[in-house]
């Protein structure tokens, strides 16, 4: 055997021409079928019509493209399959890979464009719907992907890429959409079309400069102050609690852990009304300070992840230091903390995100004091029935701006995020 | 109090005990006794309108405010409890001082005490701020709300205009055992909360793990790139995502328009207005938010599974499915049990996912005061407090939620490896 074929996975090799030939057969099945008007056309019929009389399709360029796509992909796949049967070399596997990739991409493109294409062409009366697509299209669709999977397997490329690509699209589309809306020139919440007609930067400019109704910049500063302060306070509380519970031994330690666990099981904002009156008693409602207190006050209850991390730091380090006469404070600040970078990052990040995105506590505490609002409250306000018509696209701009700092932080720190759950010292 | 410390030379300590005692007595006389008595009655004098003959108008005569009385009463209890602790500490330190004296050692002064806070008593120093924070923002309010569940503080008993009073277990009876509309609503919402929590937790867990395994599998190149794509969606604050998705999936939202433009449907799909579709929608949308999060967390654990396990399994002839079932799954479940529990509790309390997406809707007349078909117990609790001021029912629901989360998780958590074997990691 020569070197090239050894890299191929021969097990799946036979399936490539099989799916290719089946795919070719699908051109005889009905491509679309309209029940009401009894119109049924197979791909072959469309090819013949197209070759026969191009004027029939003059109205819809898209339909011409679709037919060309289908015809070329079927020919391409057929050729690749035959080639694959004749010679089992890497080149033929790669060729069929491209052919099936082309076919499956065309299948997806067709799925999303066929409606407007057929509607424009005037081939059928009334509106076309995707469910009119017949067995011919669907077998073309499925077989092109099956062929793609088999070609990938043969070339020892993981078919997982297909799944990942599809998932990425699902996860990126809403994000891309909101970014797109934030640049849309037409105001209003609902348009009868999906893609904006005109793009502009005005939404961002108005959002940042027009303070007559909403104080976006002020809110942004408020949120940053609250998030930063409570992030610091929360982290100090979480780290000292979890260190104490992990490393120091004292009477009532287990009981204290149980109490914290029990307290954490009450729904957090069950007590918000009482918190509100306590803050009122202290005279600090509707202030940022109150928010900071609320976000970091109960932080001790979130001790367990950090405690799990501290548990994995070898005790021998502490003991060695004690023998040298170090105090417990010294061990905590000079030995444990420097070893705990991942968990510190994780705690900081989590502590920053919670106030950044909280709605309930902020809404109860701030009431109607608009200038002390945080971003979550403010953005929710923009979608109010009274504001949505004018503020919809600006909301989108605001949402994009809110997400950018967190996204940067998150992507930069993500390695700590997963490392923090696995312990400090490997092996 | 404190005399013993002063007599044995611990001047600062003794004086501070004395000051604490005096201020406690002063508090009791000034407020405490009245407050404690008020806790029992919750007010006796209702606010009323009295005709003032001199001015010729009706005037409001202030009555008792049950709510403030309840809050002050609880504060008084906490002060008394705090004092009891101080008193006990005082006794202890007096005995300790005496023992030092008797054994002829030097009695530790204030400087030694402070120094010990950084060494043998470090736990006291480190836990002081967390405990103070907990008491003010969590324990005290919680007691207040728990007690509220035993009063009739609902829409028709609003202070300062009206008084409310103790009703014992009446709220629990109405909520759990009566054929009242409130009871009916409670059980329907309770059912849905459990279904939601189970579905949301497990679907996220398994699909997130699947994604992590997929990205980490051998044949995939550019792992960092794929991970980053999904991390972007974690990085967007969840309220933003949820609001955006709500707009997108509205009856006239972008998704429906797109689906119609592309010919997938001829009329818009009622994602949030049909009860059944709405329930499916929130679960699916929650997947969108939860999967990347689980992926991120499980990735770290997956990477750490000892590769020798897989090697030996492969030599024994185990395929990928078998090694997944017998190595990956048990290992993951072992490590992530606490995560799974916290996630389950988080989902029972997942306010954001429901409130921002559907607001609890579609609301129905079958339910108490327009609660909705996707309302969870928590969102219902929120609506009862904020929209209809039925605080006592809200508090009752809060206690029920607590019981659900506590019952299951305390058992599982105490049995879980990370709790029982906390010593084994560092010693082993």
Is domain B177-427 annotated with CATH 2.60.40.3080?
no
Whole-number average pLDDT of chain B: 82
pLDDT of B116 reads 81
Residue A1 banded pLDDT, cuts 50, 70, 90: very low
Spatial neighbors of A190 by CB under 8 A, at least 6 apart, are B250, B252, B253, B257
Contact A174 B241 (CB under 8 A): yes
Are the beta carbons of A329 and B382 separated by less than 8 Å?
no
**Closest-approach residue (CA) in chain B for A352:** B237
Same domain? A248 vs A324: yes
- pLDDT exceeds cutoff 70 at B236: yes
Residue A193 lies in a domain: no
Backbone angles phi, psi at B62, to 5 degrees: -65, 130
pLDDT of residue A224: 92
Statement to judge: residues A233 and A306 lie in one domain? yes
State residue A2's pLDDT score: 43
Whether A266 is in a domain gets the answer yes
**Cα B7 from Cα B45, distance rounded (Å):** 50
Nearest CA to B391 out of B48, B157, B202 is that of B157
Burial of B40 (0-12, 13-18, 19+ CB in 10 A): exposed
d(CA A129, CA A95): 34
Say what the pLDDT of residue B419 is. 57
Residue with more model confidence, A309 or A107: A107
pLDDT on residue B281: 92
Instruction: Tell me if B422 sits within 8 A of B179, measured CB to CB.
Output: no
| H or E segment to which residue B36 belongs | helix B33-41
User: Which residue stretches of B118-157 are H helix?
Assistant: 122-134, 140-148
Is residue A414 situated within a structural domain?
Answer: yes
Question: How far apart are alpha carbons A128 and A131 in whole angstroms?
Answer: 9
Q: A193 vs chain B: nearest CA distance in angstroms?
A: 7
CB < 8 Å to A243, chain B? 126
How far apart CA B187 and CA A311 sit, in angstroms, is 42
The H helix count followed by the E strand count for chain A is 20, 2
Q: Is A18 exposed, middle or buried (0-12, 13-18, 19+ CB in 10 A)?
A: middle
Q: Which of B265, B300, B410 sits opposite A419 (nearest CB)?
A: B300
> By residue range, what is the domain housing residue A230?
208-419
Q: In this model, does residue B203 exceed pLDDT 90?
A: yes
The pLDDT confidence band at residue B428, using thresholds 50, 70 and 90, is very low
* A65 has pLDDT over 70: yes
pLDDT at A214: 83
d(CA B185, CA A283): 38
Task: Write out pLDDT tens, residues A271-303.
Answer: 777 888 788 878 888 888 888 988 888 888 888
Domain end (from A139, A157, A175): A157
Please tell me if residue B225 touches chain A, with a CB cutoff of 8 Å.
Answer: no
B137 touches chain A (CB under 8 A): yes
Mean per-residue pLDDT of chain A: 83
Q: Is A10 a member of any domain?
A: yes
* A350 & A225 share domain: yes
- Calculate what percentage of chain A has a pLDDT beyond 70: 95
pLDDT category at A418 given cuts 50, 70, 90 is: low
Helix extents (H) in B236-306: 238-248, 254-261, 275-304
Question: Which regions of chain B carry the CATH code 1.10.3720.10?
Answer: 177-427
Residue B81 has pLDDT above 80, yes or no: yes
Per the structure, the count of domains in chain A is: 2
| Separation between Cα atoms, residue A415 and residue A410, nearest integer Å | 9
What is the spatial distance between Cα B327 and Cα B309, in angstroms, rounded to a whole number?
7
Residues of chain A in contact with residue B139, where contact means CB-CB under 8 angstroms, are 263
pLDDT class for B127, splitting at 50, 70, 90?
A: confident
- d(CA B328, CA B345) in angstroms, rounded, equals 25
CATH number of the domain enclosing A339: 1.10.3720.10
For residues B386-391, average pLDDT: 82
pLDDT at A229 > cutoff 90: yes
Same domain, A84 and A218: no
Cβ contacts (< 8 Å) between A328 and chain B: which residues?
118-120, 122
Average pLDDT of span A24-53: 80
Contact B223/A339 with Cβ under 8 angstroms?
no
**Residue A5: what pLDDT?**
45
- The answer as to whether A203 is a domain residue is no
Last residue of a domain, one of A95, A130, A157: A157
Question: B391 to chain A: nearest residue by CA?
Answer: A273
**Mean predicted confidence (pLDDT) in A14-28:** 84
Q: What are phi and psi of A42, to 5 degrees?
A: -90, 165
Report the alpha-carbon angle B135-B136-B141, nearest 5: 90
Decide if pLDDT at A338 tops 50: yes
Does residue A167 lie within any of the structural domains?
Answer: no
Residue A373: helix, strand or coil by DSSP?
coil
Q: What is the mean pLDDT of residues A317-343?
A: 86
Same structural domain, A392 and A277: yes
What is the b/e burial string over B125-140, where b = at least 16 CB atoms within 10 angstroms of the residue's CB? bbbebbbebbebbbbb
Q: Is B128 on the interface with A (CB under 8 A)?
A: no
A409 domain residue, yes or no: yes
Asked if pLDDT for residue B199 goes beyond 50, the answer is: yes
- Find the Cα–Cα–Cα–Cα dihedral A144, A146, A152, A154, rounded to 10°: -120
Residue B422: predicted pLDDT: 53
Identify whether residues A140 and A250 lie together within a single domain. no
More confident: B79 or A266: B79
Tens digit of each residue's pLDDT (9 = 90 or more) over B103-118: 877 777 778 888 888 8
């Amino acid at each position: 055997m020569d070197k090239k074929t050894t890299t191929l996975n021969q097990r799946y090799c036979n399936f490539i021409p099989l799916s290719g030939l089946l795919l070719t057969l699908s051109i005889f099945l009905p491509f679309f079928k309209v029940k009401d008007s009894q119109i049924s056309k197979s791909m072959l019929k469309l090819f013949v019509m197209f070759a026969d009389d191009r004027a029939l399709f003059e109205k819809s360029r898209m339909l011409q493209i679709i037919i060309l796509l289908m015809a070329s992909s079927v020919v391409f796949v057929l050729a690749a399959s035959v080639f694959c049967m004749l010679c089992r070399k890497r080149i033929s596997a790669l060729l069929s890979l491209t052919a099936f990739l082309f076919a499956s991409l065309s299948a997806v493109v067709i799925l999303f464009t066929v409606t407007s294409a057929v509607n424009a062409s005037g081939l059928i009366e009334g509106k076309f719907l995707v469910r009119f697509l017949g067995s011919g299209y669907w077998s073309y669709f499925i077989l092109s992907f099956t062929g793609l999977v088999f070609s990938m397997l043969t070339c020892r490329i993981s078919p997982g890429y297909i799944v990942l690509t599809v998932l990425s699209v699902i996860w990126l589309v809403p994000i891309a959409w909101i970014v797109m809306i934030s640049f849309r020139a037409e105001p209003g919440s609902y348009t009868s079309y999906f893609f904006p007609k005109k793009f502009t930067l005005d939404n961002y400019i108005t959002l940042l400069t027009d303070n007559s109704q909403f104080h976006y910049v002020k809110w942004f500063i408020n949120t940053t102050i609250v998030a930063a302060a409570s992030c610091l306070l929360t982290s100090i509380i979480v780290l000292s609690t979890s260190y104490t519970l992990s490393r120091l031994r004292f009477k009532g330690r287990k009981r204290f852990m149980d109490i914290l666990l029990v307290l954490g099981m009450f729904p957090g904002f069950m007590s918000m009304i009482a918190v509100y009156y306590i803050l009122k008693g202290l005279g600090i409602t509707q202030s940022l300070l109150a928010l900071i207190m609320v976000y970091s006050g109960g932080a001790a209850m979130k001790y367990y992840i950090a405690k799990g991390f501290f548990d994995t730091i070898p005790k021998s380090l502490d003991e060695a230091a004690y023998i040298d006469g170090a105090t417990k404070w010294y061990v905590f600040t000079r030995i444990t903390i420097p070893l705990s970078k991942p968990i510190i990052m994780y705690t900081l990040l989590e502590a920053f995100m919670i106030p950044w995105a909280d709605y309930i506590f902020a809404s109860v505490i701030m009431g109607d004091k608009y200038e002390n609002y945080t971003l979550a409250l403010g953005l929710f306000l923009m979608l109010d029935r009274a504001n949505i018509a004018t503020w919809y696209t600006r909301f989108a701009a605001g949402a994009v701006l809110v997400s950018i700092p967190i996204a940067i932080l998150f992507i930069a720190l993500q390695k700590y995020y997963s490392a923090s759950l696995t312990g400090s010292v490997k092996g | 109090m404190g005399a013993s410390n002063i007599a044995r030379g611990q001047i600062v300590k003794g004086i501070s005990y004395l000051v604490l005692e005096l201020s406690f007595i002063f508090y009791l006389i000034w407020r405490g006794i009245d407050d404690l008595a008020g806790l029992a009655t919750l007010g006796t004098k209702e606010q009323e309108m009295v005709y003032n003959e001199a001015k010729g108008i009706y005037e409001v005569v202030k009555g008792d405010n049950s709510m403030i009385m309840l809050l002050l009463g609880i504060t008084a209890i906490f002060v008394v409890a705090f004092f009891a602790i101080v008193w006990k500490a005082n006794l202890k330190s007096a005995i300790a001082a005496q023992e030092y004296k008797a054994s002829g050692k030097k009695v530790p002064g204030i400087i030694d005490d402070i120094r010990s806070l950084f060494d043998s008593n470090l736990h006291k120093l480190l836990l002081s701020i967390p405990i103070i924070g907990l008491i003010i923002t969590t324990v005290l309010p919680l007691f207040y709300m728990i007690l509220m569940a035993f009063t009739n503080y609902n829409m028709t008993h609003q202070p300062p205009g009206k008084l409310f009073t103790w009703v014992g277990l009446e709220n629990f009876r109405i909520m759990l055992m009566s054929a009242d509309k409130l009871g009916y609503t409670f059980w329907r919402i309770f059912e849905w909360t459990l279904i939601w929590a189970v579905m949301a937790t497990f679907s996220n867990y398994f699909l997130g793990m699947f994604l992590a395994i997929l990205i980490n599998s051998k044949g995939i190149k550019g792992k960092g790139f794929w991970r980053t794509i999904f991390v972007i969606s974690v990085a967007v604050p969840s309220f933003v995502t949820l609001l955006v998705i709500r707009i997108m999936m509205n009856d006239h939202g972008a998704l429906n328009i797109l689906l119609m433009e592309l010919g997938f449907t001829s009329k818009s799909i009622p994602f949030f207005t049909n009860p059944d579709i709405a329930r499916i929608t929130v679960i699916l949308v929650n997947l969108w938010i939860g999967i990347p999060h689980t992926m991120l967390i499980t990735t770290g654990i997956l990477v750490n599974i000892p590769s020798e396990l897989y090697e030996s399994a492969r030599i024994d002839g185990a395929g990928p499915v078998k090694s997944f079932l017998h190595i990956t799954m048990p290992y993951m479940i072992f490590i992530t049990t606490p995560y799974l529990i916290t996630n389950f509790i988080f989902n029972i309390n997942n306010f954001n996912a429901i409130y921002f997406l559907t607001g609890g809707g579609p609301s129905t007349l079958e339910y108490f005061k327009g609660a909705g078909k996707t309302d969870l117990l928590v969102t219902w609790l929120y609506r009862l407090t904020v929209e209809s001021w039925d605080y006592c029912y809200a508090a009752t629901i809060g206690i029920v939620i607590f019981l659900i989360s506590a019952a299951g998780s305390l058992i599982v958590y105490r049995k879980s490896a990370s709790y029982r074997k906390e010593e084994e990691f560092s010693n082993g």
